Chain A
Amino acid sequence: MALRFGILLGVRFFPTSSHVLGAGILAAVLSGVAFAWAVPRQSGGGSNPTAKVAQAAATAPGQSPSAPALSAAHSGLNVVVLDPAHGGTDPGARGTEGITESDEVLQFATATKKALEAQGFQVILTREGNDNPSFDDRSARANAQRGAVFITLHIASTGLTGTARVYVVPEVPASNNITGLIPWDRAQAPFLSLSRKLGELVQQELSKRFKGSPDTLQTAPVRQLRTTAAPAIAVEISSVSVKERAELDRMVPGVAEAIARGLTDFRPTYVVPTISVPGGSVQP
């Protein structure tokens, strides 16, 4: 296309055959440069659900994977990714008074964001309106950050109303990949112990505020958490089957405070784990 355009320009402004030839060559060179510039951006840009690698393991351009060079600021907790579950065509649990999980979790997420920002955290929401990003797109928001934690918020359709539970995935075997890259489908593996620690702290805070909530962390193979390369927990609130919407609304500040408090307690202990590779170790 660019070549054709170049030749047409040549015919118009440079009527001699040598000028036409020169313009054609110039257009071809320009096309080549444009192609070379565009290709790496196409393959690397955006969130690709079929991507097999969660994060490059501390590999800046020209740097060996076995020689991590992270600054001190990058080894701690910097960002909290909050994930209001469902949305778009997926309303999640549906309860009385037309309550839908997808709408309610947005309220919880907004209040939690404010509480976290008051504690000095940078907060990213995976959705702010009524849309439904894929599991991988939601995970990608955390996987693209250094020093992030991921919290997915749910409201069940069953369970004792006025309670909240925290879940982590039970086990995700670590990869044997010698490059230090984490396969996308088991991105949670290196972060499991950190996820448990974070989950315990948040669950303790929730059980203080909501009577009937369990004192201990729950485990379940939650799909959303498996592909997240960061300490990741799911908080599930019970339930959309309340008698009136106000019962759920009353839980919003307590849940927000509990999460903010749990993360504040977690922050000093958060160090990005390392993965052993031949010749050393890398941070994912």
Chain B
Amino acid sequence: MTPKWTVWLGGVLLAAVIAAALYFPALRRRVNQAKELTEKTAEQARRELLPVAPVSTGDPMVKVVMFWGSHGQEGELVPVTVELPLSRDPVLRTKQVLNTLLAGPVDAESRTLPPDAALMAFYILPDGTGVADFSDEIRTSIPSGIQSEQLAVESILRTLEANVPQVLRLKILIHGQEADTLAGHVDLTQLFRVNAKDAAGTQLDNPSPPGSKLPAPIRKAVETMRKATKR
């Protein structure tokens, strides 16, 4: 015959197992919520450190041409002229122009970039290479596909070509890192030609695997942004 205390012990253990099984899903939910909160906080902290829209009221109003998606022609870009206070400094000017591009047109369907993506940093190297660092959302919120990714990159390149002649070519980083692709399709390991005046296009002729063969100035810029991201 089984002693009475073993029956009680078995009952208590069974109750403990059932209670743990009931509590487990709630615990998992709370852990996931805490994880998401931490990730968002890190991204937001970085955004707060950087001036999002460096617009000075003293800048002259200038007509700029933005390239957004065409409403009627699928997969096409159309130039849209808008008036903005624009700096003469090419770095500030690029930030202003790209922030306007990210803010998007009045018609949301003509967007080429995700509304929650942000330009985290921008540099111009002495040889005319621009290095633009976008937040993770440019990768995670963009509609998946070759066409949508191609439109996103083209809208950036053509808008820069129309408004910032000092940027001859562009390197796109995501969250301070060199990325293989934008969102699984379009190759970001290469330098994109921005300005037709970049006749030499020497760096363009050197698509390179991530991190290994980048020209020294760009490698330095990538390292700088990577450190800033870690901070």
A191 contacts chain B at the CB level, 8 A cutoff: no
CA distance A101 to B143 in the complex (A): 12
What chain A residues lie within 8 Å of B144 (beta carbons)? 92-94, 101, 156-157
**Interface of B: prevailing SS:** loop
Contact A154/B145 with A160-B74, A186-B207, A222-B185 known, Cβ cut-off 8 Å: yes
B11 contacts chain A at the CB level, 8 A cutoff: no
Complex contact B184–A220 (CB within 8 A): no
B148 contacts chain A at the CB level, 8 A cutoff: yes
Complex contact B209–A185 (CB within 8 A): yes
Complex contact A154–B143 (CB within 8 A): no
Complex contact A90–B143 (CB within 8 A): no
Complex contact A154–B185 (CB within 8 A): yes
B187 contacts chain A at the CB level, 8 A cutoff: yes
Complex contact B74–A226 (CB within 8 A): no
Q: How far is the CB of A282 from chain B (nearest CB, A)?
A: 22
Partner of A185, one of B146, B147, B208: B208
Complex contact B187–A226 (CB within 8 A): yes
Interface footprint category on B: 20 to 34
What chain A residues lie within 8 Å of B143 (beta carbons)? 93, 156-158
Q: Name the residue of chain B whose CB is nearest to the CB of A135.
A: B180
B-contact bits for A143-175, CB 8 A (1 contact / 0 none):
000000000001111111000010101001100
Complex contact B150–A172 (CB within 8 A): no
A142 contacts chain B at the CB level, 8 A cutoff: no
B190 contacts chain A at the CB level, 8 A cutoff: yes
Complex contact A90–B187 (CB within 8 A): no
What chain B residues lie within 8 Å of A157 (beta carbons)? 143-145, 148
B107 contacts chain A at the CB level, 8 A cutoff: no
A141 contacts chain B at the CB level, 8 A cutoff: no
A-contact bits for B118-162, CB 8 A (1 contact / 0 none):
000000000000000000000000011111111000000000000
CA distance A155 to B187 in the complex (A): 18
Complex contact B205–A173 (CB within 8 A): yes
B75 contacts chain A at the CB level, 8 A cutoff: yes
Complex contact B187–A221 (CB within 8 A): yes
Complex contact A156–B208 (CB within 8 A): no
CA distance A167 to B144 in the complex (A): 15
Q: List chain B positions with a Cβ less than 8 A from chain A.
A: 74-75, 143-150, 180-181, 184-187, 189-190, 204-209, 213
Q: List chain A positions with a Cβ less than 8 A from chain B.
A: 50, 85-86, 90, 92-94, 101, 135, 154-160, 165, 167, 169, 172-173, 185-186, 214, 218, 220-224, 226, 234, 236, 238-239
